[in-house]
Structure 1
Amino acid sequence: MARVLVVDEDPQVRRFLGVSLETCGHRVAEAENASDGLRLCQGRKYDLIILDPGVSDMTGLEVISSIRRRSAAPIIVLSNRADEATKVEALDRGADDYVVKPFGIGELMARMRAALRTSRPLLKPALVVVGDLRIDLSERRITRNGRDVHLTKREFDLLKVLASTPDHVISHHALLKAVWKTVRGDGVTYLRVYIMQLREKLERIPSRPTLIVTEPGVGYRLKTSGDQLSKGDGS
């Protein structure tokens, strides 16, 4: 269960999100404009903020920067604007994800789960074993059938993020922020290249991946299918 703040001028959107989120067990607070949203951020801590930056009482995407200065909670932007420049500016101003209206509630919930996972400390596995593949996060060592698999630093950092929460989807944006510490307009293309390189080294049939699985339009997950996970520090 998470405490979620919804900032949107449209009462129908607020009502729809409120009912949907509360049905899933979340607690929801609503704000109809930027001023109310900022006031609520100052007065209470939220786990997640869903925001339409098109609120009329603040210019452009300024509301994202203003909320980010007051809260470290993940921000998911809901917007009618689908152009790349707006998405990039929103992410650069502090948003964690961007969803274009109209949106599917299933996709939004998946993005919420991904944002909440990356914002909360978890007990991470120190060792992930999938068949004959061993991913030792604490030793930064990958082996298959006892033989070392050599990864570049960036490849390992990406694999480490995926292996830290196995069988959970991690969004493109969360992966880019965790590994590259920034999100650029061509970031997803960069990410796909590195995922392809990892698959070439780790998958038995890289063109038909069963380990690093794509969740279309959302991100990737490391699929263990119930194989062994040894809990530990892994950080």
Structure 2
Amino acid sequence: MPKTRDHNSLPSSNIPLGRRAVMGGILALASGIAYARQPKVSMPVLTKASFEDLVPGPFGNWQVISDGEVVLPPPDALRDRLYDNLVTRAYQAEGTPPIMALLAYNNQQDGVLQVHRPEVCYPVGGFQLSATERIDVPLEKGSVPANIFTAEAPGRIEQVMYFTRLGTAFPRSWLEQRIAVINANLAGDIPDGILMRVSVIGINQERAKPMLEQFTRAFISASPSRLQKLLVG
């Protein structure tokens, strides 16, 4: 029986040269578009020393007293990458309890590597949390979306306020954080991300809230312009 030729498997040599050139151009164009649309890191890496230098020491009525008993994120395989830049300090002004501050920054936040939210690390440290309240912290110009909650453990009650910035967004939940990363990726960026968390021990939330807001506003105002940009864009 004579062999029949499968017309769907004609050798490329049978395709006219002009058509092959057109097909090659189309494939090259598609590859170029795909490459151009790949998200790219929008911010350069910031060294640990450079980041620490940006964080204010004494400012206004506030003095640095120690790193304090700051609750750090739970250890895991990704922590060192999640927190390339991590600074913890405790500040105190006359007549006020110490305020603990934590700043964590990474120049790229993707679907895997993202800052831990305090609602995750505090329970791992043995704390029971109240419901999280959404607030807007007033700044000298505008305000920043933030969260506040109470964390309780035996012998310790801590009022915790924090905000996160990812790219141009200020997500207040894990879902909003994921959406912020996706939106940035669709716009062609791998966004940077920062967490600022402030907390105070031994007082109720009613008293702590204005104190933490005032501290945050003063801290950002006292920060160099580069840190201000990292914190609030």
TM-score class, shorter-chain normalisation, is under 0.3
In terms of Rg, which structure is larger? Answer: 2
Instruction: Give the number of the structure with larger relative contact order, counting CA–CA contacts within 8 Å between residues 6 or more apart.
Output: 2
Output the TM-score relative to the length of structure 2: 0.27
Output the TM-score relative to the length of structure 1: 0.27
